[in-house]
Chains A and B, each alone.
Chain A
Amino acid sequence: MNNGLNILAQGVVTNNIILLQGLGLYALTRYTRDVKTAVKSGVTMICAMLTAALVVWAFQGAVIDSLSVEIGFYLLVGTLSALAWQNILGFDGSLEKGLVDSALVGLLLIMGRDGIAGPTTVGFALSAGLGYLLVLIVMATLRKRLELAPIPKPLRGAPIVLITAGLLAIALMGFRL
């Protein structure tokens, strides 16, 4: 139970995949225009992360003794899972505008690097996905507020989104202490 809570807290707060690992910034700048898009993107990503984690778990018994083959395996599982789910849930079919971003593949590579195995793989993916969804919703809500703020023109759009995300991330860093 404690282990589950620990994984959840790490994924959502102390090791948040967007704010503290720096992954998924494409989604942070593109899919936070409104809450609806943020939720759709976040839910699609959770589905893709869970699918990829299940595939990785299923193949963990297979002997992969080469680092390059292992990396290639994570890259293929991550990208194909994201491609499949973005088509199922009606995202743009192209690679660049879809959900094939660094959050999903990055998560698999982190799990491989840290030796996450067994059912923990799925719990790790779920908590990372929830952290991803939470950040997108918070940022979409903040952007609505920022639209009303008197922000100088060069700072509008992506610059203020990144600066706000950076400040949020610094706040989350406080929970690591």
Chain B
Amino acid sequence: MKTIYEGLFSKNPVFGLLLGLVPAVAITYSAYNGLVLGITTGIILVVAVFISSLLKSVVPKGTRPVLHVGVLTILTVIAHSLLLQQNPKVVADLGIFLPLIVVNSFVLYNLDQDQAMKDAVLSAVGNSLGFVLALVVIGVIREFLSFGTVFGTRLLESTLPPLALAGTVPGGMVIVGLLLALYNKITGQGGELHE
């Protein structure tokens, strides 16, 4: 339970550890995109951690990065094919950011941890939930600001034009930066990067 709480809040991958910033900035102009990419990344991570823990004893430490890249590439290509069959529109919306799960720093960080299998899988589940939460929160804020909708549902009827910049990459950087500052204020962190 503590691991899940840490992944969700106190050591949230995006806001606490500054990992996975690329999807957090690039595809969260829509909350649905954030949710789909977050869940896909989480499933790939948990399966990759499980496979990597199984193979850890037979693969020398120096060659583990290559093993991780291989496992992640296979899992991502499978996920891409499955999603393409189920929901081609979301695959088109996510574009290059779906295959980029392989080099997502959040995934690589979790795979690099030297833990027993049970702890590693639990930690991956907690961190994945935190990652999904962060992408959805950022997605809801950006989608509302840029289109006036949340998960495609219009919330406010206004004659004011929406803040289109919030839906672009530069706007995403500013909004994620401000959310990081808010997280730092709430948790009492801040001042330097947490590496």
Contacts and interface: CB of A to CB of B under 8 A. Distances in A.
A169 B48 CA distance: 35
A95 B22 contact: no
Interface string B164-195: 01001111111011101110110001111101
A173 interface: yes
A67 to B, nearest CB: 8
A95 B52 CA distance: 14
B59 to A, nearest CB: 14
Contacts of A163: 173-174, 177-178
Interface string B70-107: 10111011001100100000000001100110111100
Given A72-B73, A113-B95, A162-B177, A154 B108 contact: no
A122 interface: no
Given A76-B69, A101-B105, A23 B26 contact: yes
A169 B173 contact: yes
Query: In terms of DSSP, what is the predominant structure of the interface of chain B?
Result: helix
Nearest to A100: B103
Interface residues of A, number: 53
B103 A157 contact: no
B173 A166 contact: yes
Interface in A107-135: 109-110, 113
A68 interface: yes
Contact of A25 (B25, B62, B102, B191): B25
Interface stretch (A14-22, A40-48, A51-59): A14-22
B65, B68, B72, B111: which has the most chain A beta carbons within 10 Å?
Answer: B65
B22 A102 contact: yes
Given A26-B19, A72-B77, 19 more contacts: A19-B169, A20-B169, A22-B25, A23-B22, A23-B26, A25-B22, A29-B18, A30-B195, A75-B72, A75-B102, A79-B69, A94-B65, A95-B108, A96-B105, A104-B103, A113-B95, A153-B184, A153-B190, A157-B192
B66 interface: yes
Interface of B: 18-19, 21-22, 25-26, 62, 65-66, 68-70, 72-74, 76-77, 80-81, 84, 95-96, 99-100, 102-105, 108-109, 111-112, 165, 168-174, 176-178, 180-182, 184-185, 189-193, 195
Given A19-B170, A96-B108, A156-B190, A113 B96 contact: yes
A104 B100 CA distance: 10
B74, B180, B185: which has the most chain A beta carbons within 10 Å?
Answer: B180
The 4 closest A-B pairs by CB, nearest first: A166-B173, A162-B177, A169-B170, A22-B26
A154 B184 contact: yes
Given A22-B22, A68-B77, A93-B65, A165 B173 contact: yes
Interface of A: 19-26, 29-30, 67-69, 71-72, 74-76, 78-80, 83, 93-96, 100-102, 104-106, 109-110, 113, 152-163, 165-167, 169-170, 173
A155 B81 CA distance: 41
A72 B76 CA distance: 8
B81 A94 contact: no
B112 A94 contact: yes
B193 A170 contact: no
Nearest to B25: A22
A152 to B, nearest CB: 8
B102 A158 contact: no
Nearest to B179: A159
Given A71-B77, A158-B18, A167-B174, A78 B103 contact: yes
